[in-house]
Structure 1
Amino acid sequence: MKSILILCNGSPPSEQLFSKYRAKTAYFIAADGGANIALKLGTTPDVIIGDLDSYDGSNKESSEIIFRPSQELNDLEKALQQAQKEKGTHIYILGATGHRLDQTLKNLSVLKQFSPKFQRIRIADNFGEMRLLPPSFADDFAIGTQISLFPLSGKVTGITTQGLKYPLKNEFIKNGVRDGSSNEVIKNPVQITHKEGDLLMFVKHNND
């Protein structure tokens, strides 16, 4: 198992959040301007990768620099390709949300694209953590944790949940029609199954 942290150039994570995820990982990739955020956080990436249009050059003396000018890929895609080369298995992504909404939506699309390529891939920000769920999922959470379910693309069908305050029983959610936001953990383990579609789960950070 090899855990890798990727830091993008969106809304910066808090020092506490960054430290939490950095402690989980053995290797640190900055996606272009994410290197500037890393410098402000007082840390140095192992690798800085991208077209380098946002990177100010401050870390060039101590990080490997990989210039990837392709406009067919965004900087997160380039960072994830590098994570594959490094044989990463568990990927944690910070700074991929906030600022421009179009870039946040693009990064959620990238999450779908790369989810099959790693054992675990998660996007986190100062509010919570997102992941795409497999057809059958079970895990424990602190009682009272807020969990939201969204269809990443179109419609998700056959959703059944256990352990949540508002259960679903072989039901669907669909963009523009119905979602599963702001549910709450009341019992463990939380179990979520679905039959078809891309089901995105957002878990709100507990303040304690």
Structure 2
Amino acid sequence: MHAVIVSNGFPPSKSLLEEEFKAADLLLGADGGGRTILNHGFKPDAVVGDLDSFDAPETPAFKVVHRPDQETNDLEKALTYALEQGVETCTVLGAFGHRMDHSLKNMSVLNKFHSSFDELIFRDEEFDAVLIEDTFSARLPVGNIVSLFPVSGEVTGIQTEGLMYALNNESLETGVRDGTSNETISDEFSIRIEAGALVIFFER
């Protein structure tokens, strides 16, 4: 089962949401993300969160799941709900933007939940973000931007193929060295790491 979750960051365009909605078994709003779905003329299957950013209609035509605990943010609540429904792959729109602290928190959420899904992608109009702890490869046009961010502090044993600035069994570390604005030099690139958690942003 595949879910699309709309979070409350920079809202996706109607065309991106429509494209993702076509492939979804479940469309979820993470609190204020539900308002984005409705504003684009779609109906979510459920809106999940503490509901401080979403005014539910008196008689909603969709499920409203109120989860008031303050130990998790609304995206975490929506991802947990998706897992409860048997979702195996998930694309999150609107995970970044509006507030810097929320964007950083959602990087932590990606780290927390990526192993719970067969595939978890954070997507906007230009980039996808995925987290890896072993290997990753993708086919992209030559010249596409690829950025690497070590979210576990230090990531070691990084080996890349198909990128302009190659890493050969090297390390990246938060606050020391990262891999911003690399780019593809062939139509496929791959990354292997030995230890740590690495977020890869790549141009769609």
What is the match of residue 174 of structure 1? 173
Q: Deviations over 1:14-62 (max 9, x none)?
A: 1222122222211101111111111111111000111111102249521
Mapping of 1:31-46 within 5 angstroms? 31-46=30-45
What is the match of residue 144 of structure 1? 143
Distance in 1, matches of 2:84 and 2:59, equals 21
Distance in 1, matches of 2:198 and 2:109, equals 14
What is the match of residue 67 of structure 1? 66
Q: Deviations over 1:119-157 (max 9, x none)?
A: 000111223110002312222112221111110121111
Q: Is the 8 A contact 2:91 2:123 kept in 1?
A: yes
CA RMSD of aligned residues (A): 1.4
Aligned residues between the structures:
204
Mapping of 1:20-31 within 5 angstroms? 20-31=19-30
What amino acid maps onto 1:120 in structure 2? E
Q: Is the 8 A contact 1:11 1:96 kept in 2?
A: yes
Mapping of 1:98-113 within 5 angstroms? 98-113=97-112
> Structure 1 residues 134-143 or 25-34, which shifts more?
134-143
What is the match of residue 78 of structure 1? 77
What is the match of residue 189 of structure 1? 188
Task: Detail structure 1 runs of 4+ shifted over 4 Å in the superposition.
Answer: none
Q: Per the alignment, do residues 142 and 24 of structure 1 end up closer, same or farther by CA in structure 2, a change over 3 Å counting?
A: farther
Distance in 1, matches of 2:100 and 2:60, equals 33
Distance in 1, matches of 2:201 and 2:172, equals 15
What amino acid maps onto 2:47 in structure 1? I
Q: Per the alignment, do residues 60 and 32 of structure 1 end up closer, same or farther by CA in structure 2, a change over 3 Å counting?
A: farther
What is the match of residue 5 of structure 1? 4
Q: Is the 8 A contact 1:36 1:58 kept in 2?
A: no
Identity %: 40
Q: Secondary structure at the match of 1:170?
A: strand
What is the match of residue 18 of structure 2? 19
TM-score between the two structures when normalised by the length of structure 2: 0.95
Which structure 2 residue ranges, 5 or more long, are not aligned? none
Q: Does 1:132 align with 2:131?
A: yes
Q: Is the 8 A contact 2:2 2:90 kept in 1?
A: yes
Using the TM superposition, give the Cα deviation of residue 188 of structure 1 relative to its aligned residue in structure 2, in angstroms: 3.6
Q: Secondary structure at the match of 2:168?
A: coil
Q: Is the 8 A contact 1:35 1:59 kept in 2?
A: no
Which structure 1 residue ranges, 5 or more long, are not aligned? none
Distance in 2, matches of 1:59 and 1:90, equals 32
